[in-house]
Chain A
């Protein structure tokens, strides 16, 4: 635009034959000469930096692996795959990438944009993800897995948690709230009223009371939020829950930048705190909640090829890494089993404790007691990780199966392990978009 005027000006300049300074510089063309120099400087400095700087394997800010230098083959050259890989490689390894990404988030914010990469700039320093659109076909199939298991004689609970965009809708930008999750949850409660565990009232009430139920920079609930869902679940079971008064909160990290911040790296957002709930010292009955090694539980992780064991559901090592939420039960693994030590004997211990119960928690009668122990299998996404610890006093074995990665026959597994209680625990985004949940229904059909 402006350039054309300069063009005219410089034509006048040529005709006017003004005296030229060094390099032909004079008052009229100084701007253009400066632009030329600056442009060349800009592209060449970054071009050289790009060549010289070492490649990074991953970006902790974005929480993902970065594209590596592609391997050349003639085949990839012919179908242009090599070229698109080179482009991803250069973009991912661009000098100062993290800074550019944050700068863009800031530019979005300053240009009055209410979102960046599908994440809202919400009130009070919150970043809130846009809810997933419901995929009706997936939702229907997932629901069939739930009802199918119930029809097959299992005791089934369905806990689909609303997310921050629903519970904390007051923090969203104006007109951004969409009732997709509320409508979907209403549909679930309508269609499977007996199985549906409604966590929303508890979460909403706690949020209204000033408790932080979701992280500000991560899409997960906090352990405070998970506790509210636990209350809803225990209500559904008709059993008393561990009262809040018996627990105390301890902050284990105050440097957590979660997945939402990875997508929308706005500078100036405060990091999140991660807290864990522990039983008050004098409460013997809740000893099983004791984290960090003293719990009488054994946690077995299975990653699809090998298993390993830990003595706690908490993994402090992850607090030193980017994905600090993995403090709760590590990263997503196909199968995690939390077992009371000496499980067979354990059932008696729990039954015994139940009678002289101080917290009000009672052993629940049912199919499991016949097998001699109380077992629960949870089909889950990572929301279950902050939730499962609260169940420790109530079960001898808790099996966490992540259907995205677990390739076993779940029905055979339930039979083999003698498990009759099942829970589906997902956040709303997963439940309407994760195709793997329908596997349960598919296996059920095979067993018929």
Chain B
């Protein structure tokens, strides 16, 4: 199930909210676990078994660590078991086909591919479960004795399918004690609506623009179209994913949870290093906490740091999908991050602001081309078009039409990637608190009405991060 659907908004959510506030407090976690399984099973009825297994297994590693964790050998063994099982599940379901296809390609053995559909959100929930076991192992967090509460954490429907990747230690306390207030609920409703509007009004509409450009016959591809297209894809991905995170965090507030933020205006970054501190924060944090630092981080000399970063960015790329282009995309960032760390980082800091923005956006947007074309055959011509070599020349009529037709949408997106609206809004709240008390609900209602209208009449409502 996705948040941006009539089913979720007007059947699932009201039913869950009503049940959540009717049942006694002690039943809330079991209830959340139960409804989250329904939420999950909606799209993947069979894989719900996998989900339950991961949950029970993760919980059990905690119990085992509590019992035998004092013996360092046994503790290590349990930890290794958890990592192997989780990565094994992920590897089998997400990368099985890819590995088999590559082995076949190299050896010509012709092993039959599994052709299993990818279980929803598997990359997210396996990472969450591992974070729990590792944190318990490191004694960063107490063991969760109640399997249903632990289930509520792993399966919690707001962040189940597309994150943010909630590390256990950030909500351990909230699982057992959290406070739901009407005021927090109101803030959650507001943020949820912001996320819904980002997804339905911006991401979906800009997605249509990008799809039109992607579908241009090769003879009509122009340099302008390629650039507008890839920027549009960058917008779509950002509003899709950050919108989803906003909805998740907003739903969390409605239920009394506080998740950490996942996006912090990444496109205003002035370096690639900064970009990755602002984009998909929960994923970068996960890799930093559970991979980069255990490898030794940057404390063991230059050579080792470069190696560690190489591992982390190969993994980050690969995490995004079972295809070589994602690995390429990860390594692309590895190169720029290394370069900023050891080569031109200082120079960059002394450069004019504008130049730094242009530098960052050029790299990030070009990177999306690597990200979006899984088929290397279509990547080549597209990169050539970005580089000024397009069959259709610099510009033609179709791109002018699309730019004209999508002008306001793109303009809204450009404003939306900056904190401008937030800043103005914040000032207004300070200056005219009474007026803004009225404006808040009015704006929220407008966002809801528009989003629902677009959902009711929608043939186009993809969800990009579904595949991860």
Q: Which A residues fall within an 8 A CB radius of B?
A: 1-7, 9-10, 23-24, 27-40, 42-44, 46-47, 50, 77-80, 83, 86-87, 90-91, 94, 97, 100-101, 103-105, 107, 111-115, 117, 173-178
Contact = CB atoms under 8 A, between A and B. Distances in A.
Interface of B: 5-7, 9-11, 13-15, 17, 42-46, 182-187, 189-194, 205, 250, 397-398, 400-401, 404-409, 419, 421-422, 425-426, 429, 433-434, 436-441, 444-445, 448-450, 452-457, 459
A7 B44 CA distance: 36
B400 A175 contact: yes
A83 B186 contact: no
A36 B404 contact: no
Contacts of B184: 32
A83 B441 contact: no
B456 A101 contact: yes
Shortest 4 CB-CB contacts between residues of A and residues of B: A32-B186, A36-B186, A39-B189, A175-B401
7 contacts: A4-B422, A30-B437, A31-B437, A32-B182, A32-B185, A114-B404, A175-B404
Given A2-B194, A113-B409, 17 more contacts: A1-B421, A1-B425, A4-B422, A5-B425, A6-B440, A9-B429, A34-B437, A39-B444, A78-B45, A80-B44, A83-B45, A90-B7, A104-B453, A113-B405, A115-B405, A173-B405, A175-B397
Given A101-B457, A104-B457, A50 B10 contact: yes
A177 B397 CA distance: 8
A86 B7 contact: yes
A107 B183 CA distance: 31
A29 B426 CA distance: 15
Contacts of A174: 400-401, 404
Nearest to A120: B405
B440 A111 contact: no
Contacts of A27: 433-434, 437
Contacts of B440: 2, 6, 31-32, 34-35
Given A6-B190, A29-B183, A86-B7, A91 B444 contact: no
B404 A6 contact: no
A174 B401 CA distance: 7
A111 B5 CA distance: 22
A28 B183 CA distance: 10
B423 to A, nearest CB: 9
A42 B448 contact: yes
A100 B441 contact: no
Contacts, number: 185
Given A112-B407, A114-B404, A114-B405, A2 B429 contact: yes
Q: Is the interface of B mostly helix, strand, loop or mixed?
A: helix
B186 A39 contact: yes
Given A34-B441, A36-B189, A111-B408, A173 B453 contact: no
Nearest to B425: A2
A29 B429 CA distance: 12
A211 B42 CA distance: 55
B5 A87 contact: yes
Contacts of B452: 100
A1 B422 contact: yes
B50 to A, nearest CB: 15
A383 B42 CA distance: 44
A94 B456 contact: yes
Contacts of B182: 23-24, 32-33, 36-37
Contacts of A1: 194, 419, 421-422, 425
A169 to B, nearest CB: 12
Given A32-B440, A173-B405, A3 B5 contact: no
A35 B6 contact: no
B445 A42 contact: yes
A230 to B, nearest CB: 34
B11 A5 contact: no
A386 to B, nearest CB: 29
Contacts of B194: 1-3
Nearest to B44: A80
A2 B437 contact: no
A94 B183 CA distance: 30
A8 B143 CA distance: 32
A43 B405 CA distance: 32
B14 A44 contact: yes
Contacts of A4: 422
B157 to A, nearest CB: 15
B456 A36 contact: no
A114 to B, nearest CB: 4
A111 B406 CA distance: 8
Given A107-B453, A113-B406, A83 B434 contact: no
Contacts of B13: 43
A351 B454 CA distance: 61
A7 B187 contact: yes
